[in-house]
Amino acid sequence: MVLPIDGRWQKCVTVAENFGFRVIKLPRTLPQRLHDALENVLIHALVWAFRPGKPRGRRASLDRVHWWIPRKDLVRRCEDLHQRSRLGASPLATFGEA
């Protein structure tokens, strides 16, 4: 997953953790960092090409992280969603609750 490095990064991590994910940032090797830098250039070029009116002041870098959810948590959440849908409740109404 690619996340912005600015202040929104922590908000994204908090939302992911509320849904049961664990956000892991692994150290990057030199070739990976070079790949990331070139990928950032590509992303900014695509944004510039398809949204030319976008404000130019926010040239934030992007950070790569892994999102994981333990299998038992995923199975439990799927079972809870299934049970809620059988009871007639909105299955996604409380999905973010732990």
Look up residue 70 and give its two tokens.
């333990």
pLDDT given at position 98: 47
- 3-state SS, one letter per residue, for 51-70: CCCCCCCCCCCEEECEEECC
pTM: 0.52
Kindly state the DSSP code that residue 24 receives in the 8-state scheme: E
The structure tokens 């079972």 sit at: 79
Task: Kindly report the average pLDDT of the chain as a whole number.
Answer: 76
Residues 78-97: tens digit of each pLDDT:
887 777 777 665 555 555 55
Residues 42-81: tens digit of each pLDDT:
888 888 888 877 656 555 567 778 888 888 888 888 887 7
Kindly state the DSSP code that residue 30 receives in the 8-state scheme: H
